[in-house]
Amino acid sequence: MQHIYGFNALRAFSVLLVILSHVGIVQQVQSPFWKQFFTVFNANYGVKTFFVLSGFLITILLIKEYEKTGGINVLHFMARRALRILPLYFLVLALLSVFIWAGIAQPAWAAMWYSALYVFNFIPKADTVNYLSHLWSLAVEEQYYLIWPFVFALLSPRRGFLVAGCVAFITICYFSWTAPWPQFSDTHYTNRWTIPAIYPILFGSLMAIVNAPLFFIWRSPVALAISLAAISLPLFLPLTAAIEFAGTAGIAGVIGWVFLNQHRRAVHLMDWGPIGYIGVISYGLYMWQGILTGNGPYRVTAGWPPEPLIGAALTFIVAPLSFHLFERPISNMRRYFRSSRPVLREMPTSN
């Protein structure tokens, strides 16, 4: 798939929000306007933007593959995702294991197991640890990736079913968000459970499915203005579930607009220089900032992680090295899993 201008800027924006929040800079602003701004646009918002973008991109890739081959090679899809995500993920866990064995980091073997099994979003509060707490979002994404390609492969010739399914599950997530499990809310982070946490990814997938049929609508400046207005709602209105979901729909709208306006110079300029590069290495930045900043200024032990600002500085040193020396060489192996023929073909339709 060709480079999509503007998406690296969105990744950079997201990961910088995460890092600024986790080092405590966001919490130290004095201006009432900026306090309100960062109440909305913080680490959680950055993760949400990552989610929407991830759902959009994965679904666009599936659509392109289906249009090219008439089906989806799910095994190749899984292999490509694994080569991009898993090597760095387990490198970080291995490094943390060494730190724990060496007595540098706080022992957290239960949290390590939840992380290794990609179920950190279900971890009890009593077992969580600060330097791993960012892995809940990767668990949610991985759980989505394990299901969505199969659903898409079976329903791709009937896009209306895919749209209806996305809308239905977004609705389920909404009601789950507004009525969390009372018997678990004191012991678990129920808003991180697969339902409702996948709702931003679903918004991204939905936008990927409908943006082609609604090409002339989503390409217009009016669509961008409406999307930005939806994103801005929490700045002026109480942050209810409805406003939260409307803002997420706005993020999806912006992503759809950027995707459909690749010819615009303004979109090309979004990926300018350092901003584009931060977007390129954003996955590594996200992974390393967690174990180096501790995902926040609070500390349980004195040994590890280092102080947040030191951790952030180390993040911007380690992440580029990690990308060029470790992630990219492995990620380049994905070319061996480009689909030339489908494993799952379309669901037969009746005449």
CB 283 within 8 A of CB 86: no
Short-list 3, 54, 14, 11, CA closest to 208: 54
Name the burial class of residue 345, with classes exposed (0-12), middle (13-18) and buried (19+) by CB atoms within 10 angstroms of its CB: middle
Helix residue spans in 23-134 (DSSP H): 32-40, 43-69, 74-101, 109-116
Instruction: Using only the alpha carbons of the chain, give its radius of gyration.
Output: 20
Q: Tokens in use for 348?
A: 């037969």
Q: What is the pLDDT of residue 349?
A: 36
pTM higher than 0.75: yes
Q: What is the pLDDT of residue 339?
A: 63
Q: What is the pLDDT of residue 341?
A: 54
Q: Tokens in use for 223?
A: 């669509």
Q: What is the pLDDT of residue 343?
A: 47
Q: What are phi and psi of 344, to 5 degrees?
A: -110, 120
Residue extents of the structural domains in the chain: 7-336
Q: What is the pLDDT of residue 296?
A: 80
Around Cβ 349, how many Cβ atoms within 10 Å?
Answer: 7
Q: Tokens in use for 194?
A: 């697969």
- Apex 12 CA angle, 9 and 13, nearest 5: 85
The helix (run of H) or strand (run of E) holding residue 266 is: helix 265-269
Per-residue DSSP letters for 202-225? HHHHHHHHHTTTTHHHHTSHHHHH
Give how far the C-alpha of residue 180 lies from the chain's centroid of Cα atoms, to the nearest Å. 22
Helix 241-260 to helix 199-210 angle (10° resolution) is: 40
pLDDT in tens, the chain (351 residues): 678 999 999 999 999 999 999 998 877 888 888 888 888 889 999 999 999 999 999 999 999 999 988 888 999 999 999 999 999 999 999 999 999 998 888 888 999 999 999 999 999 999 999 899 999 999 999 999 999 999 999 998 888 999 999 999 999 999 999 887 778 888 999 999 999 999 999 999 999 999 888 888 889 999 999 999 999 999 999 889 999 999 999 999 999 999 999 999 999 999 999 999 999 999 999 999 999 998 887 665 666 788 889 999 999 999 999 999 999 999 998 887 776 554 444 433 333
Q: What is the pLDDT of residue 1?
A: 65
Sign of the CA dihedral 149, 150, 151, 155?
A: positive
Question: In Å, how far are 29, 104, 140 from 190, measured between CA atoms?
Answer: 30, 31, 12
The helix (run of H) or strand (run of E) holding residue 344 is: strand 344-345
What's the DSSP call for residue 332?
A: G
